[in-house]
Every structure is written in C-alpha cells, then in structure tokens.
C-alpha cells in the first residue's frame, strides 16, 4: 500500500534517539531546550514551547490566551476537529467561517468584527494571508499543523508576524516528526510563560520556601514532550528544507502529469508565498468510486476533511450550517500520496490508476 503520508527516518535520526536512551535524562532534560531553540530560530520567532502533540499545543494556546465562556472564536470548517475543539476546551464558543474556494483557507472577508479570536488554519500547507485581514481580531492563533516550512511575504510561517501564537504538529505524516508532538511559537514573553506552565501542571517554583518548594495556582496539564522525541525532532529539523523541497517537486510533477484530466488541482500559492505541501488535495467527481478504486489498487488516498460542523459533537450547535464553499470542496476532495520518500515509480502508478478512474 502506498500511503497518503509517511515519515522519513534515517540512521541519523535513529542515532539521535539512541543517544538520549543511553543518557541520564529521558524527559525534562537538555534536548527539549535544544529542539525549542532550533525551531524558534528556524521560523524566526522569539520563543517555541514543545508539547506532547499538536492538539495539546492548540489547547495550550487557547488557555494561554485566557479565552473563556464569553468569547467566540472562529475557525475554518475545513480542518481537523482539533482546530475548533481547542476553543471548547477552555469554555469558549467556536464559530465557523466559510472557506475561499480560491485557496481552501478560511475567507478573511467573512470574519465577524465582534469575534474574540481567530484560529487561522493553513490548509494543506498553503498559508492563509493574515496580512489581508480587513480587521484584526483581538487574538490570532495560527493552526500551522500543515505549514511548517511554508513562507509568506513576511517570512516563515511561525514567526508570528501577524498573529499572537502559531501551532505546529509533528505527527509522522507532517513535515518533520517527533513520533507524536507539537509546539507553539510566539514573540510574547507573557504568553511563553503561560504556555510553559500550562504544559507542566501549572507549577510555579517558589525557591524562597526551599529548593523543593513550588505552588500550583491554576488548573493545567502534563503535556510535556520527552527528550527522546525532542532529539528526533532536532535531527529532523535539520532536514526540513530538503523535505519541503522534495514535497514541492512532487507537487510540480503531479500538476504536470494530471494537467488536462477531469479533476481540479490544489490552489497554487500567490506571489510571495510558498506552499509546504503537507497535502496534495485534488477534487474529483464521483469521489467514492475513485477512492475505492485507488484503494483496491493499493493506493491509500485519504479525504481531508469531513467538515467539522458535520460531526455529531458539533451538529446540534450548527443544525442549519450554511457553508456552500466548504460543501462544494468537500464533495470531491481526495488527498493523493505525497511524502519525501515517495518514488517516481510510485507517483507514476498513482497518476496512471487515477487517470483510469476519471
């Protein structure tokens, strides 16, 4: 089976993990700092805080922003549920804004002026143009789970040029992996302190009471990343440019080989932007038949995503959801295999089988 996404692990990555396994500290050790500093440097942010996974990172960002029950925070319905769940985790109310069919990202001109915040999803790895917002919500969290390595006219995604925080995921199918893992980048010293406390039980050291003494003054979680994972992440981070360049090359090849076929290709990045190509989502007619045919041929395509408001956990709150652009996109979306180790022979097979099903 050719999967839609897959990690790329080599001997350097394995050696980095083994080194930690042979050390004295498997967690809460020096490799966390090394990974966070490397990530912050790579994306041009002042700070990075690592978490156990991307969902934990989104939760932490919502909590650090001190969102609460009176706040409405909007996001894209064309995303994984975590983009909205993080708002509910802190007692705030999620809202949805229809997508722009030209980008498949949330339409910036539809954002209500009275919302408390925005979770801006960079769908498939194409950055949402936050500089184009007609008005800036009080809070902007970038959900950049797909977009590590992407660029905007203001620099790398993650530098928070137009946001308060930016969230990444390091799941195995993402640009780099720590097995499971996530991170939040920010330029705010206040937010970084809240993020660090939130991932570590809310512990605040109080050395005046003794070297052991600490206090917990708010509810928080154990959302820590291990040093084992951080060492893998640091090793992977050194290969990010190569990984993204390979994804971009595969995307170019798909565009060339699929041109003229009866499908819609993914949006291309506008001038000044680069696409990280976490996904290569085409849109086809009779998706179920095409999906089943590709799977029978050993090609593990996937659909990204079932719109969030369709899930039972959201359906009751949005019984008459009217997001026509999202619905039109969802009807045909199909993510083709795209990952750095995908071979030309495998890509040729994907194109050949897909063409025969259209």
- Is the four-CA dihedral 38, 39, 40, 44 of positive or negative sign? positive
The C-alpha angle 158, 164, 165, rounded to 5 degrees, equals 45
174 in catalytic set: yes
Contact (Cβ atoms closer than 8 angstroms) between residue 143 and residue 120: yes
Catalytic entry in 22, 174, 206, 239: 174
Cis peptide before 305 (omega within 30 of 0): yes
How many Cβ atoms are within 10 Å of 29's Cβ, its own excluded? 17
Q: What letters, b where the CB count within 10 A reaches 16 and e where it falls short, cover 234-257?
A: bbbbebbeebbebbbebbeebeeb
DSSP state at residue 121: E
DSSP state at residue 297: T
The residues carrying an active-site annotation are: 174
């Amino acid at each position: 089976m050719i999967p839609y996404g897959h990690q790329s692990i080599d001997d350097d990555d394995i050696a980095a993990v083994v080194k930690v396994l042979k050390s004295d500290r498997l967690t809460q050790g020096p490799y966390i700092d090394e990974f966070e500093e490397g990530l912050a440097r790579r994306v041009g942010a002042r700070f990075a805080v690592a978490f156990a996974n991307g969902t934990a990172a989104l939760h932490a960002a919502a909590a650090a922003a001190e969102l609460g029950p009176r706040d409405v925070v909007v996001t894209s319905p064309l995303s994984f549920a975590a983009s909205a769940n993080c708002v509910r985790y802190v007692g705030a109310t999620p809202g949805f804004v229809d997508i722009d069919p030209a980008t498949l990202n949330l339409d910036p001109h539809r954002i209500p002026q009275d919302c408390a915040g925005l979770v801006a999803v960079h769908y498939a790895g194409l950055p949402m143009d936050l500089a184009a917002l007609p008005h800036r919500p009080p809070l902007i969290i970038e959900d950049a789970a797909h977009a590590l390595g992407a660029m905007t006219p203001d620099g790398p995604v993650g530098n928070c040029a137009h946001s308060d925080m930016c969230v990444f995921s390091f799941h195995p199918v993402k640009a780099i992996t720590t097995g499971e893992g996530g991170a939040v980048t920010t330029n705010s010293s206040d937010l970084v302190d809240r993020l660090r406390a939130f991932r570590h039980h809310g512990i605040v050291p109080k050395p005046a009471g003794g070297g052991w003494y600490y206090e917990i003054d708010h509810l928080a979680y154990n959302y820590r990343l291990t040093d084992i994972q951080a060492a893998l992440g640091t090793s992977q981070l050194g290969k990010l440019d190569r990984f993204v360049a390979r994804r971009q090359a595969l995307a170019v090849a798909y565009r060339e080989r699929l041109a003229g076929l009866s499908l819609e290709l993914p949006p291309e990045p506008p001038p000044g932007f680069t696409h990280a190509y976490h996904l290569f989502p085409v849109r086809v007619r009779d998706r179920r038949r095409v999906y089943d045919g590709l799977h029978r041929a050993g090609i593990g395509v996937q659909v990204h995503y079932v719109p969030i408001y369709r899930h039972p956990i959201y359906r009751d709150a949005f019984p008459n959801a009217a997001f026509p652009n999202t619905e039109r996109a969802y009807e045909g979306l199909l993510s083709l295999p795209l990952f750095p180790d995908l071979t030309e022979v495998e890509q040729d097979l994907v194109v050949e089988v897909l063409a025969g099903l259209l």
